[in-house]
């Protein structure tokens, strides 16, 4: 595929238009995003995110970037961990998702040590060596140039800091893979239509998962971006994987 083309689900589109197309998807689903997450994963996404928080090793006083943070699941927990001396930046490229996250966390009384930034993962608007930890949960597959985004994350991470990428991945069991495909391409659009009145957006989400790099490929991409001691941990049979990498 040429450099000016990329994937939007199974479609081939102009690279410069992908962010707008993804933006339309998340603008459409923002209000029902949390409800759909619970329905789609049968609540298991909460376990995946809890494991990610545990692996972050975030301590009081540290600075955390929750990238593609959406409605703020991780940011809320990081806010409690870093305390009043720390800082959490909830960043998302989609204004609708960011607004939902801001409203949700403010209503929970999570204020003071959290900021909200409209940001593109490929061009992060932060100084070099700013954050102790960066997380991106279920967001990297929607990024147009993933290599550029990983390099941008590496740049703003402090030496010794860690990146955690939580993302749908490739099931490791053939039977699970077949069942997962059947569920993704039938149940997800149906639930999207029923709950969010948007079957097409959830069809795209299913397709985007299939187009995302597998575990070993993403690990190699993190290596190429400059991260060291990279690793991944499969969850739910590889349906989801948590990738980890550090900055020297």
Average pLDDT over residues 116-123: 95
**pLDDT attached to residue 34:** 67
Q: Give the confidence band of 27 by pLDDT, cuts at 50, 70, 90.
A: low
Average pLDDT over residues 224-243: 96
Class of residue 41 by CB neighbours under 10 A (exposed 0-12, middle 13-18, buried 19+)? middle
Answer yes or no: is pLDDT of 228 > 80.
yes
Task: Decide: helix, strand or coil at residue 3.
Answer: coil
Name the CATH architecture for the domain at 42-171+214-246.
Answer: 3-Layer(aba) Sandwich (3.40)
Looking at every residue in the chain, the average pLDDT score rounds to 88
**pLDDT attached to residue 204:** 78
For tokens 């990610």, name the residue.
Answer: 52
Answer yes or no: is pLDDT of 87 > 90.
yes
* Interatomic CA distance for residues 80 and 74, integer angstroms: 10
> Which tops the pLDDT comparison, 64 or 43?
64
Q: Are 129 and 63 in contact (CB under 8 A)?
A: no
Q: Give the confidence band of 106 by pLDDT, cuts at 50, 70, 90.
A: very high
Q: For the chain, what are the domain ranges?
A: 42-171+214-246
* Interatomic CA distance for residues 214 and 124, integer angstroms: 25
Answer yes or no: is pLDDT of 224 > 90.
yes
> Which tops the pLDDT comparison, 37 or 61?
61
**Read out DSSP for 41-81?**
HTTTHHHHHHHHHHHH---TT-EEEEET-TT-HHHHHHHHH
Answer yes or no: is pLDDT of 1 > 60.
no
**pLDDT attached to residue 88:** 98
**pLDDT attached to residue 61:** 98
Backbone torsions φ then ψ of 94, nearest 5 degrees? -105, 120
Describe the chain by its helix, strand, coil percentages, rounded to 5: 50, 25, 25
* Interatomic CA distance for residues 21 and 63, integer angstroms: 31
Task: Decide: helix, strand or coil at residue 143.
Answer: coil
Average pLDDT over residues 139-164: 96
Q: Give the confidence band of 44 by pLDDT, cuts at 50, 70, 90.
A: confident
**pLDDT attached to residue 29:** 58
**pLDDT attached to residue 33:** 64
Average pLDDT over residues 166-171: 92
**pTM for the structure as a whole:** 0.84
Class of residue 241 by CB neighbours under 10 A (exposed 0-12, middle 13-18, buried 19+)? buried
**Read out DSSP for 105-127?**
HHHTT--SSEEEEE--GGG--S-
| Residues comprising the chain, all counted | 248
Answer yes or no: is pLDDT of 237 > 70.
yes
**pLDDT attached to residue 57:** 97
Answer yes or no: is pLDDT of 179 > 90.
no
Q: Are 101 and 79 in contact (CB under 8 A)?
A: no
> Which tops the pLDDT comparison, 8 or 204?
204
HEC assignment per residue over 151-197: HHHHHHEEEEEEEEEEEECCCCCHHHHHHHHHHHHHHHHHHHHHHHC
């Amino acid at each position: 595929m040429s450099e000016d083309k990329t994937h939007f689900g199974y479609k081939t589109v102009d690279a410069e238009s992908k962010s707008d197309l993804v933006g339309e998807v998340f603008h459409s689903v923002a209000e029902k995003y949390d409800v759909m997450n619970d329905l789609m994963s049968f609540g298991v996404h909460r376990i995946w995110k809890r494991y990610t928080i545990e692996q972050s090793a975030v301590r009081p006083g540290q600075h955390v970037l929750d990238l593609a943070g959406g409605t703020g699941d991780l940011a809320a927990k990081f806010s409690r961990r870093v305390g009043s001396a720390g800082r959490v930046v909830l960043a998302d490229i989609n204004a609708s998702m960011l607004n939902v996250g801001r409203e949700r966390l403010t209503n929970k009384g999570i204020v003071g040590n959290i900021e909200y930034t409209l940001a593109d993962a490929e061009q992060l608007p932060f100084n070099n060596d700013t954050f102790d930890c960066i997380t991106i949960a279920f967001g990297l597959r929607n990024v147009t140039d993933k290599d550029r985004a990983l390099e941008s994350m590496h740049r703003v991470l402090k030496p010794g800091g860690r990146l955690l990428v939580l993302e749908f991945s490739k099931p490791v069991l053939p039977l699970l893979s077949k069942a997962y495909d059947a569920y993704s391409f039938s149940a997800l659009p149906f639930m999207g239509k029923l709950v969010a009145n948007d079957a097409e957006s959830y069809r795209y989400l299913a397709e985007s998962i299939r187009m995302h790099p597998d575990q070993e490929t993403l690990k190699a991409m993190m290596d190429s971006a400059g991260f060291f001691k990279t690793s991944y941990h499969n969850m739910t049979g590889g349906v989801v994987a948590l990738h980890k990498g550090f900055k020297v």
